[in-house]
Amino acid sequence: MIFIKSLRSNLKARPLKIVILGEGGVGKTTIAKTFVNNTFFSEAKQTIAVEFHSKIFSIGVGRDAKIQLWDLGGQEQFKNMKMVFKRFCEGADGALLCFDLTDIGSLFALPDWFDFLEPSVSRFLIGTKYDIATIEERNIQLKGFQQEFDCINSFKCTAKDVKSVEDIFREIIITIRDSKEGGYGKFLEPMIRRQKWMDLVPSYHED
C-alpha cells in the first residue's frame, strides 16, 4: 500500500507531458499558444525543432493539472532529426496528432510521426482550421482513422474558438489522468484502456 501511495503522490507532483505532432503549417503552435494564453494567438511563427509551453489548468472544481506541452516542428528538416525527436517524445503521457482539415494530405502523413512515440503514450487525433474548412471537410469522419492510428479520441477545432480549445484539452487531460490512475494496476494486473469515440465539434460561427 505504501508503494501504491508513493506512486500516486509522484504522479500528482509531476506535470503531464503532452507532445504535439504533425506536419508543418497545420496549426500546432497556434492551438498550443491559444490554450496556454487563454486567447486566440494568430501570429505563430515556424517552430524551430521544439517549443515548450506550460500551464496549470483547472479540470474541475478543486482539481488542477500541471501541463507541459512539447510542440515539435513539422517541417521536413526537423522531422528528419529522428533520434532527437524520439528523445523529445520520451516520457510523454499523451500525444496530439494534428492535421489540417483543409489539407487531407496532412492527415495521411501522420503515420510518419508514429516511430517517435512509445507504445504506452495516449494518442489523440486533432483536426485543425475548422473555421476555414468547407462543409465537406468539416464533416470528415474520423472514427476509422482513430482506429487505424490507435487514438483514444478525436476532435475538430479552430484556434479562434478559445472555449472549444480549452474543452478539448480538458477532455484530453482528464482522459490521460484517468488512464494513469488506472495504470497503477500494471504492477498488479493488466491495464485496460478506455476507448472513446467522439468528435467534439467547435461552436465557432462565421460573422
The pLDDT confidence band at residue 47, using thresholds 50, 70 and 90, is low
| Phi-psi label, residue 185: left if phi above 0, alpha if psi -120 to 50, beta otherwise | alpha
Instruction: List Cα–Cα distances, 20 to 44, 96, 192, in angstroms.
Output: 15, 5, 24
Q: Is the pLDDT of residue 26 over 50?
A: yes
Domains within the chain, CATH numbers bracketed: 2-190 (3.40.50.300)
Q: Give pLDDT, residue 195.
A: 33
Q: Furthest-apart CA pair in the chain: how many Å?
A: 57
Mean pLDDT of 196-201: 35
Q: What is the mean pLDDT of the chain?
A: 79
The dihedral of CA 201, 166, 90, 13: what is its sign? negative
Q: Which cell numbers in the block locate residue 128?
A: 485543425
Cβ atoms of 34 and 165 closer than 8 Å: yes
Q: Is the pLDDT of residue 207 over 60?
A: no
Q: What percent of the chain is predicted at pLDDT more than 90?
A: 52
The 3 state secondary structure assigned to 97-159 is EEEECCCHHHHHCHHHHHHHCCCCCEEEEEEECHHHCCHHHHCCCCHHHHHHHCCCEEEECCC
Q: Give pLDDT, residue 64.
A: 87
Report the candidate in 20, 67, 27, 21 with the shortest Cα–Cα distance to residue 46: 27
pLDDT digit string (tens) for 104-145? 999 999 998 998 899 999 999 999 999 999 999 999 999 999
Task: Give the contacts of 18 (CB within 8 A, at least 6 positions apart).
Answer: 67, 68, 69, 70, 92, 93, 94, 95, 96, 172, 176
Which residue has better confidence, 146 or 65? Answer: 146
